[in-house]
């Protein structure tokens, strides 16, 4: 007997991470959660034909595995101690720590001959040695003054202050002698904060990495490609003349070339990523995918020198293979959502998920054959659950363009009845409501109480090319509003939507569009605005203020009328919709004042409103019990306002 999914089920499901492979050896970290302890632990498993075999202990956090022959290096954290690199044999034996760095480590990769590891780990720029950083950390811990002082434009990121001066260093570790050499002893450069552990690669003679080129006050960070000899020496920038960003370099198997991702437009974070081949012999850079209107991600080299990577297309994330000579991507497997492919024996391994299935590891043949699921960590829990059907619909939206949306139906859906409609609007705005099992905004969870859930990929969404993504610049609320309203009408025309019971929900930009819609229409019974952008000029308090002119159409002090035209707070007279406002105190991307202002105006106007404020969360609600509380508030608000007054 199956049943609809509940928020508790989302935290009972193991979270399957990204695989690592070396030949036919495949390992994967899997995170499980203890609701009583309010935390999760990741354990690394070896995948074989019988059942996964745990390699690490259950009471420590083990992540980021990398393989070389019969050895695995990984990042382990226990208690409050900083994370460190450990190494263990796969054919029997105990794991042993190989680092003891004062601020912990971010990641590691094997030197190709297996003699050691290259490790990326932070040190303080003002004390750029291991001992100096240790002493400075102790002094800061003892100092009662905890002020943040800066003259930089960029000084925070998501929930992290950058004023502490932590910057990544590259270390070479010789495993036989234990010698640890700092390859970038004078480093003061930031790395891409979201991908520090994935921003470098190692060849037989050098290390390549991506780092920031900007100098204080960091008016516009720009990521470029650098190299440093594996034996130590000068750091060289390979892309000093770039106009945008260059990231995620990877060496070819023979070490003769480097492939990296390039964005041309520095002020547009969703500018499509082109793959570029750098020839280490003649120093030439060749753009491989300039004519391909999609954005590559997660690329890795296969043993034959081809690339394998994932890319969004039509609200899915597919796998592609591409020779670096022709630069023509060839479809290997179509989503759902494939992420982080890694080469194995005659195949690649990647996570796969869709709107009804959480991530698991799949084996995707490089020749003939279909993807095959090789892990079943979530299978037992999923057999208890009744998933609603999923449909894909296309309709005419703003500008007369075709717009796509996913519709998730409640379990037991009967089209002869009338059901409440809940829009779940994605953030970004340059992202997608994809065919994926989103744990924080799980569409099946929104549908389970008896809602039809619409996920509109409005103008501005990625995966339909650059022009579609940039079409909302300078008019954030225009075309997306037309798209959501048109989707609403299309669903009403089906006959199974109760027009008196419709809601809009969203977070970040999705919260913006939710707030904006409530200034423009009263057709929705209620709204949920999570981390909502409500006052465009106030977003200059955000962590990243570069690119505002591109998004808004002008800097506020140059053309305030243009910016205010699409700012919900400038149209607050229209607020009449009962709204649940949610915000985390440590949200630096959409500052807390955005949500508090919305709530304050609603209450001042006498509009039904409720505030949910998390002092220990940031842009996302990540702690297990906070998440359960969040789902309780959101679903409770929808139940309160969408509950039928009579039988439907």
What pTM did the predictor assign? 0.95
Does residue 568 fall inside a structural domain? yes
**Residue 490 placed within a domain:** yes
Query: Cβ distance 518 to 572 under 8 Å?
Result: no
Phi, psi of 555 (to 5 degrees): -75, 145
Residue 45 lies inside a defined structural domain of this protein: no
Q: Is the pLDDT of residue 366 over 70?
A: yes
The count of structural domains within the chain is: 1
Residue 275 lies in a domain: no
Let me know if residue 609 belongs to a domain.
yes
What is the Cα–Cα distance from 188 to 212, expressed in whole angstroms? 9
Contact by Cβ (8 Å): 191, 160:
no
The DSSP bridge partners found for residue 157 are 160
CA 323 → CA 265, 302, 558, distances in Å?
26, 10, 47
What pLDDT score was predicted for residue 647?
45
Span 219-236, mean pLDDT?
96
Cβ-contact 165, 126 below 8 angstroms: yes
By residue range, what is the domain housing residue 619?
Answer: 388-642
Cα separation, 413 vs 434, in Å, equals 22
The answer as to whether 518 is a domain residue is yes
Q: Is residue 99 part of a domain?
A: no
* pLDDT of res. 646: 53
CATH of the domain at 544: 3.40.50.1820
User: Strand 206-212 to strand 200-202: parallel, antiparallel, or no bridges (unpaired)?
Assistant: antiparallel
Q: What is the mean pLDDT of the chain?
A: 96
HEC string of 109-126 equals: EECCCCCEEEEEEEEECC
The residues, any chain, with a CB within 8 Å of residue 498's CB and separated by 6 or more, are 418, 419, 420, 421, 644, 648
Angle of the 478-493 helix axis to the 509-520 helix axis, nearest 10: 70
Q: Is the pLDDT of residue 487 over 50?
A: yes
Q: How far is CA 162 from CA 99, 139, 210, in A?
A: 25, 18, 18
What is the Cα–Cα distance from 148 to 125, expressed in whole angstroms? 16
User: Does any domain span residue 618?
Assistant: yes
Show the tokens assigned to 325: 């000579």
pLDDT score of 230: 97
Length of the chain as a residue count: 648
The C-alpha atoms of residue 518 and residue 641 are separated, in whole angstroms, by: 15
- pLDDT bucket at 648, cuts 50 / 70 / 90: very low
- Does residue 319 carry a pLDDT above 50? yes
Among 39, 37, 38, 47, residue whose Cα is nearest residue 16: 47
């Amino acid at each position: 007997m199956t049943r609809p999914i509940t928020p508790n089920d989302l935290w009972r499901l193991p979270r399957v991470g990204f695989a690592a492979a070396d030949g036919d050896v495949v390992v994967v970290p899997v995170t499980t959660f203890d609701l009583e302890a309010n935390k999760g632990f990741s354990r690394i498993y070896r995948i074989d034909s019988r059942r996964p075999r745990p390699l690490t202990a259950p009471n420590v956090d083990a992540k980021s595995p990398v393989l070389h022959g019969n050895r695995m290096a990984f990042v382990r954290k226990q208690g409050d101690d900083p994370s460190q690199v450990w190494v263990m044999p796969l054919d029997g034996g105990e794991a042993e720590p190989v680092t003891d760095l004062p601020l912990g480590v971010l990641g590691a990769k094997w030197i190709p001959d297996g003699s050691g590891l290259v490790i990326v780990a932070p040190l303080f720029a003002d004390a750029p040695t291991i001992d100096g950083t240790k002493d400075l950390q102790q002094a800061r811990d003892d100092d009662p003054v905890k002020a943040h002082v800066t003259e930089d434009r960029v000084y925070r990121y998501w929930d992290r202050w950058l004023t502490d001066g932590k910057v990544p260093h590259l270390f070479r570790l010789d495993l036989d002698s234990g010698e640890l050499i700092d390859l970038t002893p004078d480093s003061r450069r930031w790395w891409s904060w979201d991908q520090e552990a994935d921003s470098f690669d190692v060849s037989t003679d050098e290390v390549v990495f991506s780092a920031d080129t900007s100098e204080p006050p960091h008016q516009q960070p720009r990521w470029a490609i650098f190299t440093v000899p594996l034996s130590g020496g000068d750091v060289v920038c390979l892309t000093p003349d770039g106009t945008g960003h260059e990231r995620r370099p990877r060496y070819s198997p023979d070490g003769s070339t480097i492939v990296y991702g390039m964005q041309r437009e520095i002020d547009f974070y969703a500018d499509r990523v082109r793959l570029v081949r750098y020839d280490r012999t003649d120093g030439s850079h060749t753009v491989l995918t300039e004519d391909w209107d999609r954005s590559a991600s997660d690329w890795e080299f296969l043993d034959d020198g081809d690339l394998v990577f994932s890319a969004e297309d039509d609200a899915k994330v597919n796998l592609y293979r591409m020779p670096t000579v022709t630069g023509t991507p060839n479809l290997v497997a179509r989503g759902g959502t494939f992420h982080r492919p890694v080469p194995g024996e005659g195949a690649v391994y990647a996570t796969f998920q869709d709107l009804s299935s959480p991530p698991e590891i799949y084996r995707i043949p490089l020749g003939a054959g279909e993807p095959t699921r090789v892990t079943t960590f979530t299978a037992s829990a999923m057999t208890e659950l009744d998933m609603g059907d999923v449909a894909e619909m296309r309709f005419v939206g703003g500008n007369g363009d075709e717009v796509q949306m996913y519709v998730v139906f409640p379990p037991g859906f009967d089209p002869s009845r009338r059901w409440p409609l809940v829009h779940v609007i994605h953030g970004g705005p340059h992202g997608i409501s994809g065919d994926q099992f989103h744990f924080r905004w799980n569409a099946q969870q929104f549908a389970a109480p008896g809602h039809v859930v619409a996920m509109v990929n409005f103008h501005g969404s990625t995966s339909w090319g650059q022009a579609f993504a940039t079409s909302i610049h300078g008019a954030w609320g225009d075309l997306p509003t037309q798209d959501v309203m048109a989707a609403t009408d299309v669903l009403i025309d089906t006959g199974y939507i109760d027009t008196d019971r419709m809601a809009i929900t969203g977070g970040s930009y999705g919260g913006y569009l939710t707030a904006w819609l409530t200034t423009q229409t009263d057709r929705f019974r209620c709204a949920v605005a999570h981390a909502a952008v409500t006052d465009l000029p106030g977003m200059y308090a955000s962590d990243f203020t570069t690119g505002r002119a591109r998004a808004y159409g002008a800097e506020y002090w140059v053309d305030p009328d243009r910016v205010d035209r699409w700012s919900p707070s400038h149209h607050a007279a229209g607020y009449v919709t009962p709204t649940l406002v949610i915000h985390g105190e440590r949200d630096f991307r959409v500052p807390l004042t955005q949500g508090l202002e919305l709530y304050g105006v609603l209450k001042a106007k006498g509009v039904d409103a409720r505030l949910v404020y998390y002092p220990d969360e940031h842009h996302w609600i990540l702690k297990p019990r906070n998440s359960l509380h969040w789902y309780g508030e959101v679903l409770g608000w929808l139940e309160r306002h969408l509950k039928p007054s009579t039988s439907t």
